[in-house]
Amino acid sequence: MEQISTGGSGKGKRMRQTVAAGLLVLLASACAPLEVDEVDGGDPLDQGVSEGVSEAEQGLGACGGGVPAEGSIEALGMLDFLNSAAATLAVLDDQVALDARAAAGLVNHRNGPDGVLGTADDQPFTSVAGVDAIAYVNAAAILDLVDHARATWWIPLADGDCLGTFEGVTFTAAEGRRALALVNQASAARLGGTVGLTNQAVNGILGGRVLSDLPALARVPYVGPQSMMNIRSALINAVPGDLCAGTVECGAGLHCVGIPHDGSSSQGRCRDLTPIPGEGYSCDTTACGSGLFCSSYFSCLPGWMADSLTNPTDVTIPAFTSAPVESSVIVQGQATVPVDLEVVVAIDHPNMHALRLRLVDPNGTEALLWDGPASPGQTFQSHLEVTNGISRDDMVNGRWRLLIDNAAGAQVGLLRQWTLNLTSRWD
């Protein structure tokens, strides 16, 4: 996989999609460490075995992957979820279906000695190994955490990537978005008619709106395997964020936007171009409204005009290179020109002052991100804001390249991954 894109859903940590606000339940009651006998009646489970997971299933996740490698997209997404207020004891115990003792151990460790999330003594997880070190957490539990993080949008996915299996029915990321659009927007008549859901399932869906993810849909009473199959079979039109080669492929009211002109891709993304109240207003002193974000130009722009693209492929940085090594991502589905640009890199090298990093846009112009040999005394920062070189009036859609020179370096290094965070606007 060359890159992973969130498809543009607003800015955030690594500009990812996160679960809807309804899942972000504050741990107001977590004022003391949780005791195991308070949560599940002390079920006599074998140590390290997750509830509902057979021994045969413990080596493989719902989407076919094993325990994620440190620093991978899957690992980072799992850690983001586990360190968030969304990972309550109830969610870990009931929805992720961990051993109750594992769930309590994870929450107690993360919250720190005072038992309260968001205070100075918090101990957030920073590695898969750190999660695995908690009592009663094993490979099966980690796979369950990864599956839940993927299904609830903590892990950024390409359209065709597996989102998960729900009530025995597997969905891709694009199908998941379309399914949520269907169940959150369709009328009762359509859900019960063309989709073919039972009256009980329809009433449960209507009562549960807005459903933020497919696990939430699967928890609706009377939504079972047949309902999930019917919903997936009813997915015809694209929804905002889906890839497209032309507007005819998008659903009603959507337009295919941002097809690159540099030959890097023949696809853009389906976007709803209906003006949002407050779009284009100044946000110098007033916050933007729902569905908008404030750009560095202090203008309120639609959320889809922000994107984050990651290339997680390792690239070796040889010693004494006469030519730079490079890694790239392809921007598609954005407006026409860039506004905010940030590069986030993960590099292993014993001497960052031997390296030089540049970003090249689809037009071939470049920005100097870090000039190690010319930066004595400066500390390398992994988050690099792009403030020079690249015009904010050239095209934003297309291939963006990260170049790394090691011409004066005697040591070999490794680019583990890099992310391009950007916003765009109409020119």
Place of tokens 């905002």: 240
Instruction: Kindly tell me the burial class for residue 228, based on how many C-beta atoms sit within 10 Å of its own C-beta (0-12, 13-18, 19 or more).
Output: buried
Closest CA to 202 of 210, 211, 192, 190: 192
Q: Where are the domains of the chain?
A: 18-151, 162-233, 306-425
CB 63 within 8 A of CB 166: no
15 pLDDT higher than 90: no
For 34-60, b/e burial (b = at least 16 CB within 10 A) is bebeebbeeeeeeebbbbebeeeebee
Which pLDDT does position 409 carry in this prediction?
Answer: 81
pLDDT attached to residue 31: 42
| pTM (predicted TM-score) | 0.66
Determine the CATH number of domain 306-425.
Answer: 2.60.120.260
Specify the range with the lowest mean pLDDT, choosing from 58-72, 84-98, 115-129: 58-72
19 confidence band (pLDDT: 50, 70, 90): very low
| pLDDT tens digits, one per residue of 296-308 | 989 999 999 999 9
Span 308-334, pLDDT tens digits: 999 989 999 999 877 899 999 999 999
**pLDDT of 396 higher than 60:** yes
Q: What is the pLDDT of residue 36?
A: 47
pLDDT tens-digit profile of 335-362?
999 999 999 999 999 999 999 999 999 9
Mean pLDDT, rounded, for 204-213: 96
Query: pLDDT value at position 33?
Result: 52
pLDDT digits (tens, 9 = 90+) for 364-394: 999 999 999 998 889 999 999 999 999 999 9
pLDDT digits (tens, 9 = 90+) for 236-257: 778 889 899 998 888 788 999 9
pLDDT confidence tier of residue 20, bands split at 50, 70 and 90: very low
